Structure 1
Amino acid sequence: MSSTSKFTAKGVIPACLTPFKEDLSINEAAFRGHLKDIASVAGISAVCANGHAGEVSSLTFDEQRRVAAVTKEVLGDRVPTVIGVFTNSSMQAARLARMAQDEGANALLVFPPDILGLEGHMRPASIIEHFKYVCGASDLPIIAFQYPFLSRLSYPLETLLELCQRYPQIRAIKDQYGDGKVHERHIRELAALDKPVNVLTTHSTWLLGSLALGCQGILSGAGSVIANLQVALFQAVQAGKMDKARELNDRIFPTVRAFYDSPLFDQHNRMKEALVMLGRLERAVVRPPLVKLTQEEIEKIRHFIDLAGLRAENAYAKVA
């Protein structure tokens, strides 16, 4: 295979949501509008689809293919597309990876199979085997998703380093490990490889601290709502303007409360409600087992996005 992708895994990569109709089918018109909104943000590096933010676990293979195709159709060559590979089967992962490449994706975001939560870290060969299937089906650049330690799905650092050395398609990790000490080791040791691998943070509850450690970007579902603030924060940290970065972090912090309070699995449910409040989405419909948030929860989101000043801005306004 010979990929034509020149994708560089760095900068701010919002992970888009998947809007649904009341009958739970994909609302393609709303999805196209959502993608155009995100793509209008100056300074983003790519857009990710078929990830957690897009409720990928509820999408069939054919729906994932359609999401990938529409994402590429809307974004074209203006903004690169990153497509998630989320499955418990290595053979299905290969099929998803090939599908993403066939639909014109620029890179893959590879999730760990859930079965690895049963002490998979003790069998590095199984982790390596999963990536072998993905890399055998597609030569697209890969972002490997490093899950939180508490999930029992994260890769031990030694295994992560071996993966990156064995499969040079891995250009970055999406790091959600959750431990600042290990997070910093990821940044330092992946950068020290003969072919350095970038670290994109998805520690969305402590972005400033994570970026200050030296991450090369952000890949986060919150970017579906606050991509402009994430771009401004990333650029401020890169420029060493820490006073400005702290001001932006103060703007972002209310959105942390809006999206990431318990129960955490409702985070993207809350983001949909926020987009409705901001006039960027007509309705906030989620697929089971997610359920509609209570009115009390919705009002809490409204309170925090107002504290962040989001409703006082135009859609994705440039942050001064």
Structure 2
Amino acid sequence: MTRKSYDCSGVIPACLLPLHNDLSIDEQSFRKHLRDVAVPGIAAITVNGHASEVSSCTFDEQEMLLNVALQEIGDRVPLINGVYADSAHEAVRIARMADKNGASALLVFPSNVFILGARPEMVIDHYKRVADATDLPLIIFQFPTNTPLSYSHDLLCKLLEEVPSIRAMKDGCGDPARHEMTVRELQSNDRPFHVLTTHSAWLLPSLVTGCNGILSGAGSTIADLQVALYEAVKANDLARAKEVAARIYPTTHAFYGAPAVDMHNRMKEAQVLLGRLPSAAVRPPLQKLDAAEIARIGTAMQTAGIGNEGAMNLAS
């Protein structure tokens, strides 16, 4: 598979950003983390997304992280690079950088300018400018419907009509009815477009609607379980799917409680507890979790059987 033939489907973990305690990037741990996440069965890995604290990374750091990922695992799996920018000018700059360096697709975040509400033409123009800057496939980042950054169903239809290089959507709408409508009405193999669920709080029912993949920060820690669940659903093996979902369930509560801004913070703490990363340092405005919450995360990992003591043959 050449890098530009990736169809943007399948299980796509989003990696974390290991930091030293002085908040500089821990490149050695980042390389190890990428190797840990690149488990058999994944389709790609996302870098420079929410999970890797992209809002706190400079342009140069984002370029470095993409290049390190390409060096470490780029010969094994495609790399999806996040395009996180408030201005269209900066979004275009990031898109061109990712294309030049060897990314296989771009995950386009909504501009935070849209938090006050955006006219449809603003959103469409943002995507068109990115699309005009590169021929890489684009993945829409859909926010929860109760936020101003969410795109209406009509706007999604217009985006697909007017921006042909859009190939998938990371669907985090948070509404099961809306999610099913998106899968049934927009997902298509005729004009390739894949719905990638990020509904980690209800992953099994989400996949049963027919999603063509998962794009989730939880994959940083449970990529093997996500692959097992996705493959079981695709094979119509409900018993196996329920078995895997039962193991995932404790991690859902560990990672996705309130406030949601701490979800990836919690995943970092899990990585430390599992012995995979040396530090759970996060850049402000994020703050370290308290001891009681860290203990709850540890209990959840044990309950889920994650770590050396919980190893099992997920392919069976």
Instruction: Give your verdict on TM over 0.5.
Output: yes
Which string of whole-angstrom CA distances, capped at 9 and with x for unpartnered residues, describes residues 170-189 of structure 1? 11000000111111111111
For 2:303, the equivalent position in structure 1 comes to 307
For 1:72, the equivalent position in structure 2 comes to 70
For 2:251, the equivalent position in structure 1 comes to 255
Q: Which amino acid aligns with 2:27?
A: E
Match of 1:101 among 99, 102, 115: 99
User: Whole-Å Cα distance in 1 between the matches of residues 162 and 24 of structure 2?
Assistant: 40
Q: CA RMSD in A?
A: 1.5
User: Whole-Å Cα distance in 2 between the matches of residues 258 and 311 of structure 1?
Assistant: 15
Which string of whole-angstrom CA distances, capped at 9 and with x for unpartnered residues, describes residues 87-123 of structure 1? 1101100000001111100000000011112121xx1
For 1:29, the equivalent position in structure 2 comes to 28
User: Whole-Å Cα distance in 2 between the matches of residues 317 and 290 of structure 1?
Assistant: 36
Structure 1 residue 312, shift from structure 2 partner: 4.6
For 2:178, the equivalent position in structure 1 comes to 182
Q: Is the 8 A contact 1:259 1:270 kept in 2?
A: yes
User: Whole-Å Cα distance in 1 between the matches of residues 35 and 3 of structure 2?
Assistant: 24
Structure 1 residue 192, shift from structure 2 partner: 5.0
SS in 1 for 2:200: coil
Q: Is the 8 A contact 1:89 1:113 kept in 2?
A: yes
TM-score, normalising length: structure 1: 0.95
User: Whole-Å Cα distance in 1 between the matches of residues 116 and 245 of structure 2?
Assistant: 37
May I ask how many residue pairs the two structures share in their alignment? 315
For 2:10, the equivalent position in structure 1 comes to 11
TM-score, normalising length: structure 2: 0.96
For 2:53, the equivalent position in structure 1 comes to 55
Q: Which amino acid aligns with 2:281?
A: V
SS in 2 for 1:82: strand
Map 1:77-88; keep pairs closer than 5 Å. Answer: 77-88=75-86
For 1:160, the equivalent position in structure 2 comes to 156
User: Whole-Å Cα distance in 1 between the matches of residues 222 and 3 of structure 2?
Assistant: 31
Structure 1 residue 77, shift from structure 2 partner: 2.4
User: Whole-Å Cα distance in 1 between the matches of residues 71 and 309 of structure 2?
Assistant: 28
Q: Is the 8 A contact 1:175 1:203 kept in 2?
A: yes
User: Whole-Å Cα distance in 1 between the matches of residues 193 and 258 of structure 2?
Assistant: 32
Q: Which has the larger displacement, 185-194 or 246-255?
A: 185-194
Structure 1 residue 76, shift from structure 2 partner: 2.1
SS in 1 for 2:19: coil
For 1:218, the equivalent position in structure 2 comes to 214
Q: Is the 8 A contact 1:9 1:172 kept in 2?
A: yes
Structure 1 residue 318, shift from structure 2 partner: 4.0
User: Whole-Å Cα distance in 2 between the matches of residues 163 and 46 of structure 1?
Assistant: 24
Q: Are the structure 2 counterparts of residues 99 and 314 from structure 1 closer, same or farther at C-alpha, using a change threshold of 3 Å?
A: farther
SS in 1 for 2:5: coil
Q: Are the structure 2 counterparts of residues 88 and 317 from structure 1 closer, same or farther at C-alpha, using a change threshold of 3 Å?
A: farther
Q: Which amino acid aligns with 2:86?
A: N
Structure 1 residue 264, shift from structure 2 partner: 1.0
Map 1:236-247; keep pairs closer than 5 Å. Answer: 236-247=232-243
User: Whole-Å Cα distance in 1 between the matches of residues 114 and 85 of structure 2?
Assistant: 12
Q: Is the 8 A contact 2:3 2:103 kept in 1?
A: no
Match of 1:146 among 116, 120, 142: 142
Structure 1 residue 314, shift from structure 2 partner: 6.6
SS in 2 for 1:112: coil
User: Whole-Å Cα distance in 1 between the matches of residues 28 and 92 of structure 2?
Assistant: 29
User: Whole-Å Cα distance in 2 between the matches of residues 194 and 160 of structure 1?
Assistant: 17
Match of 1:278 among 263, 274, 281: 274
User: Whole-Å Cα distance in 2 between the matches of residues 207 and 42 of structure 1?
Assistant: 20
Q: Which amino acid aligns with 1:54?
A: S
For 2:108, the equivalent position in structure 1 comes to 110
User: Whole-Å Cα distance in 2 between the matches of residues 301 and 76 of structure 1?
Assistant: 31
Confirm or deny that 1:137 pairs with 2:133. yes
Structure 1 residue 210, shift from structure 2 partner: 0.3
Q: Which amino acid aligns with 1:145?
A: F
Q: Is the 8 A contact 2:139 2:167 kept in 1?
A: yes
Q: Are the structure 2 counterparts of residues 284 and 316 from structure 1 closer, same or farther at C-alpha, using a change threshold of 3 Å?
A: farther
Q: Is the 8 A contact 2:188 2:194 kept in 1?
A: no
